[in-house]
Amino acid sequence: YNNCKMIHTGVDTEYFKPSEINKNTNRLNLISIGEFEERKGIQYLIKAIPDLIKQFPKVYLRIIGSGKFKNHYQQLVNQLNIGNYVIIQPPVTDTKPYLLISDIYFLLSDGEGFPLGLLEAMSCGLPTIVSDSPPFEEIINKSVGCRVNRGNPESILQAVTKLSDKETRSYMGSKARDLIKKRYSWTNIAEQYYNL
């Protein structure tokens, strides 16, 4: 296919941008947004929460989405007795307000096409934790986030520990936004189509 040109998903970086909103600095706010299906790996994040609570007693996970795994996720939360630390809520029409009150974005999928939600989170200045499956190696390097073995709670814990430092999050979040603006802004993507 040497006659093909790959043009990736684009992000409205003027809309999805960091805010000066004061986050709840007493909590470590995690967020995961996506379809509730096994491939997305949200169950691995839920299973890691008890270990995270031991190290970060004020950790809080928001899961936004819908799908056939919703009841499974809720059962896991109940079995692990972590209902005070995890909220599962239905899809929203605008993810930006939730991204802006979060500290770390999670996407532990076993593969993706080219995930728009991840790019929007990065554009909002969030550092990210993703699985070590493709295509995340194309997007996430050590300066903008962490790639983890999603089935290993210790791997997830190490990544969260690294990003629990506010200065580290700020630095990586800034680098993440710079990357999105440089490669995946609507202006950049439109230019690629125009040039083609």
The tens digit of pLDDT for each residue in 88-103 reads 999 999 999 999 999 9
Identify the pLDDT of residue 168: 96
d(CA 86, CA 108): 17
User: Over pLDDT 70: what percentage of the chain?
Assistant: 97
Q: Are 150 and 156 in contact (CB under 8 A)?
A: yes
The mean pLDDT of the chain is 94
Identify the pLDDT of residue 10: 94
Identify the pLDDT of residue 24: 59
Identify the pLDDT of residue 111: 81
Identify the pLDDT of residue 1: 66
> Across residues 78-82, what is the average pLDDT?
97
Hunting for tokens 């699985």 — which residue is that?
A: 131
Q: Which residues have C-beta within 8 Å of that of residue 167, sequence separation ≥ 6?
A: none
Length of the chain measured in residues = 196
d(CA 30, CA 129): 10
pLDDT confidence tier of residue 121, bands split at 50, 70 and 90: very high
Q: Are 117 and 9 in contact (CB under 8 A)?
A: no
The tens digit of pLDDT for each residue in 163-188 reads 999 999 999 999 999 999 999 999 99
Whether the pLDDT of residue 2 is over 90: the answer is no
Identify the pLDDT of residue 181: 96
> Across residues 105-121, what is the average pLDDT?
93
Q: Are 53 and 81 in contact (CB under 8 A)?
A: no
The tens digit of pLDDT for each residue in 122-152 reads 999 999 999 998 888 989 999 999 999 999 9
User: Over pLDDT 90: what percentage of the chain?
Assistant: 86
> Across residues 37-46, what is the average pLDDT?
95
Query: Which structure tokens are listed for 118?
Result: 């991840």
Identify the pLDDT of residue 17: 96
Hunting for tokens 């200045």 — which residue is that?
A: 125
Least confidently predicted of 119-123, 132-136, 190-194 = 132-136
Identify the pLDDT of residue 26: 82
d(CA 173, CA 1): 35
Query: Which structure tokens are listed for 82?
Result: 């972590």
